[in-house]
Amino acid sequence: MNPGARLVMLGKQGAGKGTQAVRLSRHYVVPHVATGDIFRAAVRSGSEFGHKARTYLDAGELVPDEIVIGMVREQLTHVEITHRGFILDGFPRTSQQAEALLGILEPKGLDLAINMKIDTDHVLKRLAARRVCSDCGANYSVVDNRPKVRGICDVCGGEVVQRDDDTESAIRRRLELYERETAPLIAWFEKRGLLANMDALGSPDEVTDRLVAEVDRRKQVL
Ligand code: AMP
């Protein structure tokens, strides 16, 4: 089996993609590339790019495709130097981004797109409880996954906060855009034999075990 992994995480906001992406990136020792984290870092840096990104993020709107695609291309070109792969989290979100991704990944392609399945009621509860590290992007929950020390990230010691865009109106808009733009990608990846549907419910450890078993199974078949 090849070391590492080349994975895309799909699913509604609040499905636990971020948490599992961080865990899979540690398990397979590959970089976690999260477009939302990159945008939030740009916003914090106060750069012009960050100012522009902020208007989209705060409203729950998608950043235009050409900007996101250019950013991911640059990241993956850099990441590919490790040859071990990557965990892509929050990208692709539109069919244009998905097409561009497969182009960027040639010739090695992708191992798997993991669709984290969860119903909307669960998602709304999880998003209200969600907290994130403002430095490394690790995800927590005030219900079942608190950091060991209140407000401090277990992974990097950064500050754990509620996201600015976890407001009711921005959450509603993100879910609408998910249904319209991102949900069709599930069939898109399935058509290409690259999809694994996974149940997103369960403790973080249970879900990680389930995902690793599936990724390893697929890698053996490849
Ligand atoms: P996330 O952390 O993945 O929920 O992303 C937070 C926000 O960043 C989104 O609501 C969008 O405004 C923006 N964003 C992240 N990834 C993308 C993407 N692939 N395409 C467009 N906008 C994105």
DSSP for 28-75, please give it.
TT--EEEHHHHHHHHHHHT-HHHHHHHHHHHHTPPPPHHHHHHHHHHH
Helix (H) or strand (E) holding 213: helix 204-221
- Residue 219 to residue 222: CA distance in whole angstroms: 5
Alpha-carbon distance of 31 to 89, in angstroms, equals 11
Closest atom of ligand 1 to CA, residue 177: 10
CA–centroid distance, 222 to ligand 1, in Å, is: 30
Indicate if the pLDDT at residue 48 is higher than 80: yes
CATH topology of domain 5-116+167-201: Rossmann fold (3.40.50)
Whole-angstrom Cα distance, residue 4 to residue 89? 16
Query: Which residues are catalytic, by number?
Result: 17, 93, 130, 163, 174
If you average pLDDT over every residue of the chain, what do you get? 91
Is the pTM higher than 0.75? yes
Compute, in angstroms, the gap from residue 163 CA to the centroid of ligand 1. Answer: 12
Judged by average pLDDT, the poorest of 35-39, 41-45, 82-86, 205-209 is: 82-86
Looking at residue 81, its pLDDT comes to 57
d(CA 217, CA 37): 29
Q: Which atom of ligand 1 is nearest to the CA of 174?
A: 10
pLDDT at 60 over 80: yes
The predicted-structure confidence for 156-191, as pLDDT tens digits, reads as follows 999 999 988 888 888 888 899 999 999 999 999 999
CA of 107 from ligand 1 middle (Å) equals 26
**Percent of the chain beyond pLDDT 90?**
68
Pick the more confident residue, 137 or 177: 177
Q: Where do we find the tokens 């929050």? A: 90
Ligand 1: distance of its center to the CA of 1 in Å? 32
In a mutational test of the pocket of ligand 1, which residue from 22, 44, 57 has the highest number of ligand atoms less than 8 Å from its CB? 57
In the chain, what are the domain boundaries?
Answer: 5-116+167-201
Using the predicted structure, report yes or no on whether residue 79 has a pLDDT greater than 80: no
32, two tokens: 């976690």
What pLDDT, in 10s, does the model give residues 21-33? 999 999 999 999 9
Residue 56 gets the label, from left (phi > 0), alpha (psi -120 to 50) or beta, of alpha
Ligand 1, atom 12, lies closest to the CA of 57
Closest CA relative to residue 41, chosen from 150, 127, 152, 133: 133
Tokens of 188: 């898109």
- The helix/strand/coil state of 149 is strand
Show the ligand 1 pocket: residues with CB < 6 angstroms: 13, 35-36, 39, 56-57, 60-63, 68, 90-91, 93, 97, 165, 174
Which atom of ligand 1 has the smallest separation from the CA of 17?
A: 3
